[in-house]
Amino acid sequence: MQKLAGKVAVVTGGGGGIGRAMGRRFGQEGMKVVLADYDAHLLDSAVQELTDGSVEVIGVPVDVTKRDSVEAMRDAALERFGEVHLLCNNAGIANQGSGQIWELEDSDWRWSLDVHLLGVAHGCEVFVPVMLAQDQEAHIVNTSSGNGGLYPIPRTPTYAVAKAAMTTYSECLWGQLRDARTMSWVSVLFPSGYTPGLLNTGIWNQRERPAEYARTSDRPLRRGLDILVEQAQKEGREVQFTPLDEVADQVVVGVTTDQFWLYVPSEASDQKVEERYRSIVERRPPSYLTSPVL
Ligand SMILES: NC(=O)c1ccc[n+]([C@@H]2O[C@H](COP(=O)([O-])OP(=O)(O)OC[C@H]3O[C@@H](n4cnc5c(N)ncnc54)[C@H](O)[C@@H]3O)[C@@H](O)[C@H]2O)c1
């Protein structure tokens, strides 16, 4: 999709972090923006921020795990702007299902899969038909993660498994849209930027868990980012943060150049992907896997 100005973008998880940065950037490109989020408070402040920046924006409360809620988001977007050209399935949750894989509860799996896999599927099921009927250029960006999307961090299985699944979902979607010869394209985003570092977003916070995903036992949880920072300091390493605007820039470049795999060049992750590939074709165990403290 070469021209963004005047087009309509819908961003889930648009209240915070990466989604909010994308919304801001799309607005700067002259797009009309629909920010959608589960967290009403975050949503309000994000809409205010974009409105203050003279962006044509609406905020829509959504729970991506519920198809009818995603349908209501579509209806709100169409009612306000009449069409949708760019959908960013970006909502995500902090990984509270980390730890020993054999100690996880069903609710740990369901929460992660419902948000990261079904949430993306709902977005595509509801918006692709709209995009096809419009018969104009359109694009879908699904936010994955290097963790699972490229190779997993073993200590975070519910997150890694869900991100791997939605990456495969995105490949299937790309293939089907190609076969259907449409003007709709897909990207899968592995959030990263040109400044190497961690992305300081709300995902590291402990979020209140919806009642339907309650655990039967509590486990002590800490803000994941604090653990990583502490660990780095112990090892005498400096902690750097990647500006979220760099991730949003990457999305704009990816959408306007129809790039499927969206992540900045990184020797370290390319090497891991290659090691993973070699372990598969050479039938060796996945000994390339490492477990950062989380
Ligand atoms: N921050 C990172 O280091 C990082 C790295 C790789 C991938 N990601 C991915 O980037 C995406 C954005 O995350 P972020 O880092 O900006 O975190 P964030 O917490 O700041 O933003 C995620 C947003 O999704 C919303 N959300 C959660 N569940 C929802 C639901 N059921 N329905 C609708 N909205 C819901 C949250 O309210 C939140 O505003 C996620 O998919 C995440 O997995 C983040």
Asked whether residue 246 is domain-assigned, the answer is yes
Asked whether residue 289 is domain-assigned, the answer is no
Q: For residue 115, give the ligand 1 atom closest to its CA.
A: 31
Q: For residue 189, give the ligand 1 atom closest to its CA.
A: 7
Looking at residue 233, its pLDDT comes to: 82
Give the residue numbers spanning the domain of 69: 8-222+242-267
The CA 92 to ligand 1 mean position distance, Å, reads: 3
Asked whether residue 24 is domain-assigned, the answer is yes
CATH of the domain at 186: 3.40.50.720
The CA 14 to ligand 1 mean position distance, Å, reads: 8
Give the Cα separation of 212 and 198 in Å (integer): 31
Indicate the burial class of 228 (C-beta count within 10 angstroms; 0-12, 13-18, 19 or more).
middle
The CA 284 to ligand 1 mean position distance, Å, reads: 34
The CA 143 to ligand 1 mean position distance, Å, reads: 9
Q: How many domains does the chain have?
A: 1
**Cα-based distances in Å from 169 to 16, 137, 165, 273:** 24, 21, 6, 19
The CA 208 to ligand 1 mean position distance, Å, reads: 14
Looking at residue 96, its pLDDT comes to: 67
**In sequence order, which residues have a C-beta less than 8 Å from that of residue 69 and are 6 or more positions away?**
62, 63
Give the Cα separation of 191 and 276 in Å (integer): 20
Asked whether residue 59 is domain-assigned, the answer is yes
Looking at residue 66, its pLDDT comes to: 98
How far from the centroid of its chain's Cα atoms is residue 266's Cα?
19
The CA 94 to ligand 1 mean position distance, Å, reads: 7
Looking at residue 238, its pLDDT comes to: 81
Nearest CA to ligand 1 atom 6: 145
To test the ligand 1 pocket, which listed residue (203, 241, 244) has its Cβ within 8 A of the most ligand atoms?
A: 203
Asked whether residue 278 is domain-assigned, the answer is no
Asked whether residue 163 is domain-assigned, the answer is yes
Low-confidence ranges of the chain (pLDDT < 70): 95-98, 219-224, 293-294
Enclosing H/E stretch for 140: strand 138-143
Residues forming beta bridges with residue 139, ordered by sequence position: 86, 185
Asked whether residue 133 is domain-assigned, the answer is yes
Asked whether residue 280 is domain-assigned, the answer is no
Residues lining ligand 1, judged by CB closer than 6 Å? 12-13, 15-19, 37-39, 42, 62-65, 90-93, 115, 143, 145, 191, 199, 201-203
How far from the centroid of its chain's Cα atoms is residue 279's Cα?
27
Nearest CA to ligand 1 atom 39: 16
